Structure formats: C-alpha cells, structure tokens
Structure 1
C-alpha cells in the first residue's frame, strides 16, 4: 500500500476512471486541488459539465476508490462550471450562448425531436441554463412538445424574446404560425428563416442551445455547418438497418463539415411489456453498438420504446419534466451528462479531413 502523499494521491486520481468521463481524472483535467496536511487528504474536482444530479455520486465513488487504493480517507469536493468550446473555423460564438449542440438524424421517424427536447430538459435538470431551437421549418414540433402556443414578443419590432416553457428558452417557426399552416417555401427561404430565428432571438445567458434539426442532410444541415457555430453534434438512430444506413450519412456529414460528434443515441432500442416484463427488441438489436464501433464514436445511451415517452411529449410535458424521478428520465439525464462531458473533457474527434463543401 503506497504511503499517503500528494504524489500518491495524484497517481490514484490519474488511475481512477469515472464512467461518465471515460478517462482518468488527471487526463480529463478536472483536478483543482490535491493536498495532504497533518495526515488529512483533500481533493477538489471541477467538472466541465452540469451534474447536480451526479456530483454526490461522483464524490462518493471517488472517495471509495481512493480509500481502497490508499487505505486512507480523503475529503472530496465536487463542483462544476460550463465553459464555451471550440466551433468551426472562421465562425464566432453566438452572443449569450456558450455552446450549441445539434441533434440530428439521417431519416424521419426515429424520435429525434423527442430526444432533443428531453436532452435539453435533462441538461437543465442537471443545473444548466438551456435553450432549444426548432430548426425544422417545414414540420416544427417543439411548440406542441413544450405545451405552449404563446407568440413571441418583440422589444423593438426587429427581434424576438424567446418563449419560456418548462424552464427552457425556446424558439420555433411554430410559434409564429398556426399549427395547421404549411410552410410552402423553397430551400433558401427556409434557411433564411432558420438564421433569423437563431440570430434575431434574444437568448439570455445560455450554457447550451440545443438545435433540433430536420431529418436528412439537406439545405438546413448545410447552413448549420457553414454559418452556425456548433460545438458538437448528436446523431439519433433506431436499431434497424434502414435507419442506420441514413444515420451513417448524417454522421459522415458532420465529419465532412468539421462539426465534432459527441456520440450516438439509439432510440426505441427495446420494448418491455408493462404487464409481464417480457423484453422484445422490436427493431432489431445491436445496431447502435455496431455503428459506434464502425465509426469510432461513443454510444451515449439506449432509450427504450415506451408509451409514456410518446404520451408525455404529445401532452406538452416531455418525460424529464413530467416524471423527473422515473427510470426513463434517469436515462435521458445520463445521456445528457455523457454528451456534455465529452464536449468538455475530450473524447471528440480532433483530426478532420480537408473537405470543401459547396452549394452545387
């Protein structure tokens, strides 16, 4: 057993791998204090992601690991702070928005918008200030999911205040038009509308702005990559092969336009019968894991196919807000922490191909 000292304590911290961070604490650069005085050891940790629901567990796990390796009690203090992170070359961060996270899918019908709003709510539940931008100009769904049809107000006739709903700041074309009104616009008009929604909204001191992208790899996605400063992207898929084919295209698109990929989320992974508990993998199994291994990206989590998720989103109060202590909400919060941790502490792809994206 090593003698307790600052050096042995640092070695133990370097060897301890937290499951959310996925690496040693020294490598993650989260250690802010290490001291041993009069036989009393203290460690101060500052995580770079919101973790109000996890920091006590983090501290307890670390304390137990240090006691096992050093045979000594160590006082562990854990805090967190969210900082701005790098975006695409030649783009500047948006005022009052530290980080933009894009939530994308290769095809429709995989539950991307439901994942996006629950991801935003989960980050807020962990203590962050969060906004959500509905970038689906043709099929906006966030107003219904957030349970509001409120119209934005304008302080000057030229810009808008975000809608406040469920503790989130939100903006969507759906707040400006009737729910049944179609947007019969060509691509350039839709992309112009997206830029107006983003830049002409008075976002207020956001740690994260979650952008709910439309499915596919079209005009909106190209605009996002070329003109919007994105810190990282999450790709949502379901396990079946037909969804994975399109999800791979979305993932490769982000690589080509130099947007770091935080990871994959496998939605509708399995179904558990609420009566008998039987588990069925309706859409196949292992698709997200295979894609994760093939493209060397993290699988952030697997979300079950559950009627509660659909009912709560349709009812205007998604799962994390409707039932914050449920097993489903805990899955979303774990995914949110893992995504934010990868953004803050590495594990992202750093070497991008030199590829030029044109409008042709």
Structure 2
C-alpha cells in the first residue's frame, strides 16, 4: 500500500493493512533499534547531491580529525555498492560476530569501521543488489553491529537522494548532516537537493564542504581553480548554512588513501567543520 494516501475503500481495510496509512490516525515509526551493546552519542551523516565530489574523502577526514582530538569515533560505510572507507584506512575483513552481534574492524588509529567490503570473501566483487536489500543492510549496520561506546558515528552515504539516504534519515537518530560538493556551476542545484531532502526529513544541516576547491602550485604557491571559481559562499549564504571547509586537490591525500594510511594525515582545511561537530 502506498504511503500517505487515503484508503480507497474502508470496507477492504483491516487493522494490519491500514497501520501507518494517513487514514488510520496512526504514525508509523521507521526508527531502528541500536544494538543493545552499543552506545553512540552523536550520528553525523555525510551526503552529496551527486557522485564524484569526494564524499568518502570528507567522511574519512572528519572522522580522523575528531579521533586526533581524543574522541571515540566510528564510520558506518553506507555506500554499499561503492565502498571505499576500508581501503582508505587499511582495514580488511572478515569481520566476525557472536551472539552480541557483528564487530567492526578497528583501524590503526582506533576508528571503528563497518563496511560491506569487510563481510565479503572477495573485496573486488561487485555488489549487485536491489535498493530494498541495500537499505536493509544499512539498517543492520546500525542494529546488528556492536559499536561499543562512541562519541561520534559518521555515516558515509551514497550520492543522491534515493533509498539509502532515506533509510538512514528515517531509521537512525541523525544529529546533523554535512553536505559535500564541488565548485562547478551546477553546485547550487546539487547543494539544494541535499539541503531540501534534509529539510523534508527534519534533519539539521551542519554546513557544506567544498572539495576540489583549488590546486596550489608547489613551486609558486599560486591557487589555481581547476574546476572553476567557487560559488559555495553565496549558496551557503542563501541557504543560511555554514561553509565548513574548502579543500584543495592535493596528491598526498590520494597517495595516503591508496596506501591505507589516510588517518596519518592532518587536514587543517576542515577545522571549522571539526569545531562545529564538536559543539553539537
């Protein structure tokens, strides 16, 4: 039965079939229960309106910076069909479990990570699943994983506004989201899609991060806007949200990610985002 529609015939409805529809007078909750052996204080979603803007890079950077400040941190890799977090932190499966649930893998710096790649025999095998199965897996990463005591759980979401972001917003107690974008002209539309979805789901928007903002010449230090001039300040002002960072193209970050030691690097360009998250 479609959500938010009146029943076409009251005589054909039963109590079970009408639960959650607008005509029943009852509100359906999609919230998933946290694993009983876990205690997560804050859940931060990292989202983007389109792919290829470096969302996982920003997720990993925020998590690593918060860990360096002494917080206990986890990353829930909700990008089921394109997981990259395990490789960036140099962790491999198989994740193991017991009667309490499945245990995340800890990176060298102590960040706890759960990803579909940690449950597969072949990390390079494609995940060819339909949306409902993917969304169900993400919920299980919340309810079946023993996260332990965490100050912050970062959720690296797939791009767009489809099944997984909807599932996360409805099922997890998200305290705020960070929107990731890039300098291209269509940035305004991209940011607004993510912003408007958060508004529909009553999720606070902590701010926006612009990735690929510029390239700094290693010889003269000049900043070159490879992807066009930034528009993020005007978009953020229009929406009334903060700019949490403008990140340059820097080969050392790509190299560290490829080598599985991303957590070793500092990212001072995200200090405003780290401060904002630390104060929620």
Would you say same fold, with TM above 0.5? yes
1:128 — aligned with what?
Answer: 71
Task: Return the alpha-carbon distance in structure 1 between the equivalents of residues 271 and 94 of structure 2.
Answer: 29
Q: Map 1:181-200 to 2 at 5 A.
A: 181-200=125-144
Match of 2:265 among 323, 348, 351: 323
Task: Return the alpha-carbon distance in structure 2 between the equivalents of residues 334 and 288 of structure 1.
Answer: 15
Give the CA deviation at 1:180: 1.5
Tell me, yes or no, if the aligned pair for 1:173 and 1:197 is still in contact at 8 Å.
Answer: no
Give the CA deviation at 1:268: 1.1
1:288 — aligned with what?
Answer: 232
> What do the CA deviations read for 1:86-128 (whole angstroms, capped 9, x no partner)?
xxx9858844001100000111111110110110111111111
**TM-score, normalised by the number of residues in structure 2:** 0.83
Match of 2:273 among 335, 340, 350: 335
Q: Map 1:243-282 to 2 at 5 A.
A: 243-282=187-226
Task: Return the alpha-carbon distance in structure 1 between the equivalents of residues 234 and 228 of structure 2.
Answer: 12
How many residues get paired? 247
Give the CA deviation at 1:332: 2.9
Task: Return the alpha-carbon distance in structure 2 between the equivalents of residues 265 and 219 of structure 1.
Answer: 23
Change (3 A) 1:299 1:93: farther
Tell me, yes or no, if the aligned pair for 1:263 and 1:339 is still in contact at 8 Å.
Answer: no
Q: Does 1:108 align with 2:46?
A: no
2:101 — aligned with what?
Answer: 159
1:239 — aligned with what?
Answer: 183
Match of 2:247 among 285, 303, 311: 303
**TM-score, normalised by the number of residues in structure 1:** 0.66
Task: Return the alpha-carbon distance in structure 2 between the equivalents of residues 90 and 227 of structure 1.
Answer: 5
Tell me, yes or no, if the aligned pair for 2:76 and 2:155 is still in contact at 8 Å.
Answer: yes
Tell me, yes or no, if the aligned pair for 1:271 and 1:279 is still in contact at 8 Å.
Answer: yes
1:170 is paired with a residue whose SS is strand
1:188 is paired with a residue whose SS is helix
Give the CA deviation at 1:163: 0.5
Tell me, yes or no, if the aligned pair for 2:253 and 2:265 is still in contact at 8 Å.
Answer: no
Task: Return the alpha-carbon distance in structure 2 between the equivalents of residues 216 and 297 of structure 1.
Answer: 20
Task: Return the alpha-carbon distance in structure 1 between the equivalents of residues 196 and 48 of structure 2.
Answer: 11
Give the CA deviation at 1:244: 3.6
Change (3 A) 1:93 1:207: farther
Q: Does 1:209 align with 2:153?
A: yes
In structure 2, the gaps of 5 or more residues are 1-28
Give the CA deviation at 1:301: 1.4
2:252 is paired with a residue whose SS is helix
Task: Return the alpha-carbon distance in structure 1 between the equivalents of residues 208 and 51 of structure 2.
Answer: 16
Task: Return the alpha-carbon distance in structure 2 between the equivalents of residues 214 and 162 of structure 1.
Answer: 20
